[in-house]
Chains A and B, each alone.
Chain A
Amino acid sequence: MINKKTCAAALVAFTFSMPAVAEEPMNDLEIAHTAYTAGQIDIRYAHLALALSQNEDVRAFAATMVRDHTAVNDAAGALITELNVTPQDNALSQALVKGAGEKVEELTGLRGKAFDCAYATNELGYHQVVNQTVEGKFIPNTTVEPLKDLLTDALATFKQHEKHAENMVSGLKCS
């Protein structure tokens, strides 16, 4: 069973801060909510990059994030409709949203290479942590087969994003 505190701690490890959450297992509807929320957050970051970055590679990556995460979340929406269920908000989703708000605020104050590097580094870390969580926690603990299949397909996409982000960070020569 998934452990909220472990997941949240992992997700927070990169840049987020969140309140302590109770150690309770996440159910399928909570997993669905958090996976969807994580996608929406990355779309939000991408729109910010498209608004602020002049770098062609960063903009191309951001456009891909909008396109791919929208496709994944559309598929999730279709599944939710088909199953006639309502995803459940939960402490991890709320922590992600809070952390993303803070990150957006930080990124909004940056320009040029400082923005590009901060965005690219965040994307790499975000995808690393989300992928670990989806692969190690969400998929093994999901009991509804179509949701498990969707998460598995989505993970294949997110792993490509992680590689792409790695290349972007390397290409920007940020360090």
Chain B
Amino acid sequence: MLVKRTYTRRQAGALLGAGFAALFLSGAPRAGEAPRTHKIDIRKFKFAPAALIIKAGDSVEWTNHDIAPHTATDEEGDWDTGTLSRSQSATLTFKTPGTYSYFCAFHPQMTATLTVEA
């Protein structure tokens, strides 16, 4: 999913930091790597992992294991999995780097972050 968003200064700083970290700390270059699909489980009213770092072009699959329906909803409203009933999954692809804070629209105390690196 192509997501347009504006960044706060803090987010831009984090992004730059992440970019430098990726530049200096990562091993093989990203070029030529196939996009990956990362899995996030929703269980007992928590996103696991609660913080995930992916590369631009990768996808994330959320699966709800609770009886209660959940969502993964971007705080700024740019993306949303829609309602996930028990055992349902939704996959979104992220092309735009940024740090995304998200939550469950039905249970706002459930929060997590997704960082998309260039």
Contacts and interface: CB of A to CB of B under 8 A. Distances in A.
Contacts of A174: none
DSSP class of B's interface residues: helix, strand, loop or mixed? loop
Contacts of A163: 109
A67 B68 contact: yes
Interface string A157-175: 1001001100100000000
Contact of A72 (B45, B67, B107): B67
A156 B44 contact: yes
B108 to A, nearest CB: 8
Interface centre among B45, B66, B68 (most CB of A within 10 A): B68
Interface string B52-77: 00000000000000111100000000
A63 B69 CA distance: 12
Contacts of A72: 67-68
Interface residues of B, number: 11
Nearest to B45: A160
B81 interface: no
A163 B45 CA distance: 12
A57 B45 CA distance: 19
B106 A153 contact: no
13 contacts: A64-B107, A67-B68, A68-B68, A71-B68, A71-B85, A72-B67, A72-B68, A150-B67, A153-B66, A153-B67, A156-B44, A157-B66, A163-B109
Interface of A: 63-64, 67-68, 71-72, 75, 150, 153-154, 156-157, 160, 163-164, 167
Interface of B: 44-45, 66-69, 85-86, 106-107, 109
